[in-house]
């Protein structure tokens, strides 16, 4: 579940909609179990820099 995104300037957007575009520099704040986190990381790997 995507809880929020933090923009490069530090502003948070809580409960972002499905139309929120992923952009370089965004920090995703998510809640997931281990399996969900792994699936998300696999989808983003190679396209985005992941910080764990």
pLDDT at 16: 94
* pTM of the predicted model as reported, rounded to 2 decimal places: 0.73
Q: How far apart (Å, rounded) are the C-alpha atoms in residues 3 and 40?
A: 14
Residue closest to 43 by CA, chosen among 13, 25, 8, 30: 30
Which structural domain range is residue 12 located in? 2-44
Q: What stretches in the chain show pLDDT beneath 70? A: 49-50, 52
Residue 24 lies in a domain: yes
Q: In what order do the strands lie in the sheet with 12-14?
A: 12-14, 2-6, 27-30
Q: In the chain, how many domains are there?
A: 1
Residue 34 lies in a domain: yes
pLDDT digits 0-9 by tens, 25-34: 889 999 999 9
């Amino acid at each position: 579940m995507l809880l929020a995104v933090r923009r490069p300037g530090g502003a948070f957007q809580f409960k972002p909609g499905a139309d929120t575009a992923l952009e370089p520099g965004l920090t995703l704040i998510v809640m997931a179990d281990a399996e969900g986190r792994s699936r998300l990381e696999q989808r983003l790997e190679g396209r985005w820099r992941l910080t764990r």
